[in-house]
Structure 1
Amino acid sequence: MGLIYLSRRVCLLRRKIFPRIIFGLLFIYIYCEYLIYYVSQVQCVWPKLEKKHAKDVEPVYALVIADIHMLGSRNGHWLDKWRREWQMHRAFQTAMTLHRPELVFVLGDLFDEGKWCSQNEFNEYVERFHNLFATPEGTTMYTVVGNHDIGFHYMITPHLAKRFEDKLNAPPVSLVSVRGNHFVLINSMAMEGDGCTLCSRAVAEINRISDVLKCSSGSALCKGKAKVPKYSRPILMQHYPLYRESDSICTEPDAAPLPLRNNLFEERWDCLSKESTEYLIESLLPRVVFGAHTHHSCLVRHSFVPRPDHKIEFIEYTVPSFSWRNRLDPKYYLLTVTPGEVRVAKCELPQESTIQVTAVILLLILAAYVRWCWRRKSFRHMSDKKV
């Protein structure tokens, strides 16, 4: 009788409870690997313009990410590589689905080992990047080179610089203009100021863009004839932050932690040099600057006075890393841009600990539910048996 009773309980488990266990585990997997990214990001929306600008022009909607650091064959375990890339892929594709930006800017360090890898490895890198960060129709992506992509200035070779430029369509300096909004994309490592071929090419292009913008604004300093259809002060996109002594001026909750925040920056290594910063500001007169490189957030309000009668004011944002390898709480920015206004929203991705805790809680709920179902079915079976 005992064996018969046990056999009936096993059959009961297979017929009634086992499918519910499978369904519960499937739901937990889908929620923690897919839906949780929607739950976290649906709370982040495009920043709204001030009412006086809202109906004047059609804004440009842009998404900014930085410091992806896709692993290569040298660093990291294959499981860590797969896991991090899967997380970034799901988070990015969720952002594309929810926000549908017109522009996407990636501010450098796409590849963790770009400065070391062979040509075949680099080609595989680029293919993986395009697969992981595919953009929908109607969205254009622009990439800015970082030091991990081609190396710091001292180790850059013409081959390293050219292959990134060719494969990612990322020249040392470029101007992107959309409906009167102008974005200047800059290779930070080309701002060394030592007259190298890469630096000379970048400076020549910056001077050309500077003259185009001056002519477009009606400045008396205009030397050429080229203009953009509608002038507005440009937005700079680069990998390095502008010159600053340290992150001690950064007060955001996701700024560099103490005591790291007080570490002094080394010019041309942690940020642009003071000379290159002054050159960019005086040449381009930016209204907003976006950088990255530190993996932490920072907001700086600059008031640059090159002459007593001339003051250049603008805001600089340092974009945190988009990778869970670099920080526990990756972020990205949403920009609503018009010629007269730039509004910024910072979007948070779920922390890995949040995903893990959520999975544990759901598993416990599932276990409690299965136990309740087992006892309930067993009680009914015993009641029927007595009758």
Structure 2
Amino acid sequence: MALLRWGLGRQNVHRSSRVLLLKLTVIVISVLLLCEYFIYYLVIVRCRWPEVKTLAHGDGQEPVLKAMFLADTHLLGEIRGHWLDKLRREWQMERAFQTALWLLQPEVVFILGDIFDEGKWSTPQAWADDVQRFQKMFRHGSHVQLKVVIGNHDIGFHYHHGCISASLSINSLPLLGCQLLWWLQPRLVLSGHTHSACEVLHPGGVLEVSVPSFSWRNRNNPSFIMGSLTSRDYALSKCYLPFEDRVLTTYGAVVSFLVLLVLAHFERLPSSLLSGWKRCRTHMRR
């Protein structure tokens, strides 16, 4: 009889352990799907294309170009790129970009420089590997155009590339910018490099908008700019990506809950917590 009770007790322990393992597996998979996949849909789906004012006043015949502007992806290379940092940041940017393409359906995407982080030091093979990773992350259909602008991190830091050095003083940059504005006479200027969003109004009423970084490596709250453009007017809006600290907080909370779940299963919690846990389970079963 004692042997029978021992056998039944062992079966109950095994059954309880299998149930616990199943619960842990379901929770872990669910949280991974939420934080690494579905969260991008839940956040980006709230973004809307801005409405051009001239169209809002009745001139609805002029075509509108839907353009996405992002900047400063800073793909890490083989020198300073830790594999975990590369995996985490590049997955975040790939999922954000692919989700934005699917939900927002832009006609053209502009990436405004600093695609890579180690252009100054990359060997030809390392550069080819970085380009291949970039093409995988930012893949797109034939109906979407992708326009890429080089930045200082792509070809060498601050006007230095290989053995060639151009001594362009910082004081001459405003003059160069004024010359470009006079020559091109744009209605709008969008730029990268600063990793932050800011606006500058140039002489003649030309607005310059700095596009924030697209990567968690540079910002806790990365974003990109959505532009509705016509031949006469434009409208801009910012679309935020998931905040990194919120994702990490979610993971931390789930890990804490899983630890409590395991400790409660093996009755390793303090007596007051354990009794409360048992009462909670009894109440949930009713």
* TM-score (ref. length: structure 1): 0.62
What does residue 321 of structure 1 align with? 213
For 2:63 and 2:230, locate their aligned partners in 1 and report how far apart those are by CA, in whole Å.
Answer: 7
8 A contact 1:65–1:107 mirrored in 2: yes
Offset, 1:333:
0.7
Separation (CA, whole Å) in 2 of partners of 1:58 and 1:6: 74
What is the match of residue 36 of structure 1? 39
Look up the equivalent residue of 1:150 and give its one-letter code. Answer: I
> Which whole-Å CA distance do the structure 2 matches of 1:152 and 1:72 have between them?
15
1:365 offset after TM fit, Å?
5.7
SS of 1:328's equivalent in the other structure is coil
Relative to 1, partners in 2 of residues 1:340 and 1:80: Cα closer, same or farther, differing over 3 Å?
same
Which range moves more in the overlay, 115-124 or 28-37?
115-124
- The answer to whether residue 51 in structure 2 is matched with residue 151 in structure 1 is no
Q: 1:74 is matched with which residue?
A: 79
Q: Is the 8 A contact 1:28 1:363 kept in 2?
A: no
User: Which is bigger in relative contact order (C-alpha 8 A, separation at least 6)?
Assistant: 2
Q: Residues 53 and 150 from structure 1, CA distance in 2 versus in 1: closer, same or farther, beyond 3 angstroms?
A: farther
Distance 1:20 1:5, change over 3 A: same
Aligned match for 1:279, one of 151, 165, 179: 179
Deviations 1:257-295 (A, max 9, x none): xxxxxxxxx827xxx711111111111111000011111
Checking the alignment, whether the CA contact within 8 Å between 2:120 and 2:162 is kept in structure 1 is no
Distance 1:368 1:65, change over 3 A: same
- 1:98-117 equivalence runs, <5 A: 98-117=103-122
Distance in 2 (alpha carbons) for counterparts of 1:11 and 1:349: 44
Secondary structure at 2:143 match in 1: coil
For the residues of structure 2 that align with 1:154 and 1:333, how far apart are their CA atoms?
27
1:267 is matched with which residue? 170
CA distance in 1 between partners of 2:140 and 2:126 (Å): 23
Give the residue type in structure 2 aligned to 1:316: E
| Structure 2: segments with no counterpart, 5+ residues | 266-276
Q: Residue 205 of structure 2: SS of its match in structure 1?
A: strand
Question: In the superposition, relative to structure 1, how do residues 329 and 54 fare at CA in structure 2: closer, same or farther (>3 Å)?
Answer: farther
1:356 aligned partner, one-letter code? L
Q: In structure 2, what is the Cα distance between the partners aligned to 1:298 and 1:26?
A: 39
Distance 1:334 1:154, change over 3 A: closer
Displacement after TM superposition at 1:73 (Å): 0.8
Task: Give the equivalent residue in structure 2 for 1:46.
Answer: 49
Alignment-derived partner of residue 62 in structure 1: 67
Match of 2:252 among 346, 349, 360: 360
SS of match in other structure, 2:170: coil
In the TM superposition, what is the alpha-carbon distance from 1:16 to its structure 2 partner?
A: 4.0
Amino acid at match of 1:361: A
Q: Distance in 2 between matches of 1:93 and 1:325?
A: 19
- Is 147-156 or 82-91 further displaced after alignment? 147-156
In the aligned structure 1, how far is the partner of 2:161 from the partner of 2:256?
53
> Which residue number corresponds to residue 196 of structure 2?
296
Q: Please list, as runs of the form range in 1=range in 2, the aligned pairs for 1:140-219 lying within 5 A after superposition.
A: 140-152=145-157, 154-156=159-161
Q: Which residue of 1 aligns with 2:100?
A: 95
CA displacement at 1:364 relative to structure 2: 5.2
Query: Post-superposition shift, 1:11?
Result: 3.1
- Superposition RMSD in Å: 2.9
Contact 1:40–1:349 under 8 Å retained in 2: yes
In structure 2, the partner of 1:27 is 30
Q: Which residue of 1 aligns with 2:13?
A: 10
Partner amino acid for 1:7? R
Shift of 1:10: 2.2
Q: Find the aligned partners of 1:98 and 1:369 in 2 and give their Cα distance.
A: 37
Equivalent in the alignment of 1:179: none
Q: Distance in 2 between matches of 1:121 and 1:54?
A: 51
**Is the CA contact 1:72–1:113 (under 8 Å) kept in the aligned structure 2?**
yes
Identity of aligned residues (%): 37
Distance 1:22 1:145 in 2: 44
